[in-house]
Structure 1
Amino acid sequence: MRNTARWAATMGLTAAAVCGPLTGSALATQSTPAALYAPSALVLTVGHGHDAATVTPERAVTLTCAPTASGTHPAAPQACAELRAAGGDFDALRPVDGVLCTKLYNPVVVTVEGVWQGKRVSYERAFANACVKDVYGGNVFSF
C-alpha cells in the first residue's frame, strides 16, 4: 500500500510539473519562443531507506529546465546547468570536489521522474547517507 501511495504522489507531481507550464499554451501563438524547446520537467524525491519500492518520499521538488530554469527546487538554475553539462545523464553528474563525508550508514534514495529534452526519464539511486548524496549530485540532488 505504501508503494501505491508513493507512486500516486510521484505521478501527480510529475503531471503537475509537465502540464503546469502548458496551461496557458492554448492562447499562445505559434511564434512563441517557448515552442522551440523540448520539454524538460522533472520531479525529484528523496527518502531514507534502501530502495524506492520500500521508501516513502520525505521531500519532493519540481525542476523545469526549458525554456528557463524554474520549479520548487532550491537551486534550479545551477541544477539545470549541471544536468545540461551531463547531457541529462544522472550517472554522469560530477561529484563536488573537496568535500569529505563520514562513513555513517543511513541510506537515502533519490528518484527522478519526468521528461528531459522530450525524452521520458525514470531514475533511482541509493546513497550511503545524505552527505554522499549531496556530494555526488551537486546541486541536482541538494534539496
Structure 2
Amino acid sequence: MPNTARWAATLTVAATAVCGPLAGSALASPGGAAAGLYAPSALVLTVGHGESAATAAPARAVTLTCAPTPSGTHPAPAGACAELRAAGGDFDALSGGSEGLCTKQYDPVTVTVDGVWQGRRVAHERTFANECLLNSSESVLFSF
C-alpha cells in the first residue's frame, strides 16, 4: 500500500503542476474564458497634414479596440466600433466626406487606419483636400 500512496501523491503533484497554470491563465485573461470567443479588433488611427501617409507628419493619433468591449484612447470608442460593425469594416464607406460648407482651399489632410479588424490585418489611407472636408464626414471614426 505505501507504494500506491506514493504513486497517487506523485500523480497529484504532477497534474497540479501541469494543469494548474492552464486553469490560471484562462481566469487571468480579460473577460475570463469568454474573451477567447471574439476575433481581435485593435486599430491605430492617425490624422496628419500632407498628401499621403508617407509624407504627412501625424498630428493626432488614437487607439481603438472593439472586442471584447469598445475601449482605447479614441474619444467615442463605442460609437466608432458600432459604425465599423455596421459598415462591415469598410473604411471607405466611413471616410466619405460631403462637400458641405467647406472652402475649396487645398491643404491636404491624410487619415490612416492600421491594425487588426475582426482577426484580419487592415491598412487604410484616405486623403481629404482640407480639414473641413474631413470634419464634414458624418463618421465618428475619424472625429478625434
Structure 1 vs Structure 2: percent identity of aligned residues? 64
Equivalents in 2 of 1:108, 1:85: separation in Å? 25
Look up the SS of the partner of 1:60 in the other structure: strand
Cα shift at 1:33: 1.3
Given the alignment of the two structures, is residue 74 of structure 1 paired with residue 75 of structure 2, yes or no?
A: yes
Q: Determine helix, strand or coil for the equivalent of 1:57.
A: strand
TM-score (norm: length of structure 2)? 0.73
CA contact (8 A) 1:95 1:135 kept: no
**Runs of 4+ that moved beyond 4 A:** 94-99
When the two structures are aligned, how many residues end up with a matched partner? 120
Change (3 A) 1:86 1:45: same
The aligned residue for residue 140 of structure 1 is 141
**1:1-143 pair list within 5 angstroms:** 27-28=28-29, 32-93=33-94, 99-136=100-137, 138-143=139-144
Shift of 1:102: 2.4
For residues 63-114 of structure 1, give each alpha carbon's deviation from its aligned partner in whole angstroms, at most 9, with x where no partner exists. 0011111000011111111111110010122757895322222110001100
CA root-mean-square deviation: 2.6
- Looking at structure 2, the residues matched to 127 and 97 of structure 1 have their Cα atoms a distance apart, in angstroms, of 11
User: SS at 1:142's partner residue?
Assistant: coil
C-alpha separation in 2, matches of 1:27 and 1:67: 15
Structure 2 residue runs of 5 or longer lacking an equivalent are 1-24
- Aligned counterpart, 1:16: none
Instruction: Tell me which structure has the larger Cα radius of gyration.
Output: 2
Q: Report the TM-score, using the length of structure 1 for normalisation.
A: 0.74
Q: CA 1:32–1:98 in 2, change beyond 3 Å: closer, same or farther?
A: farther
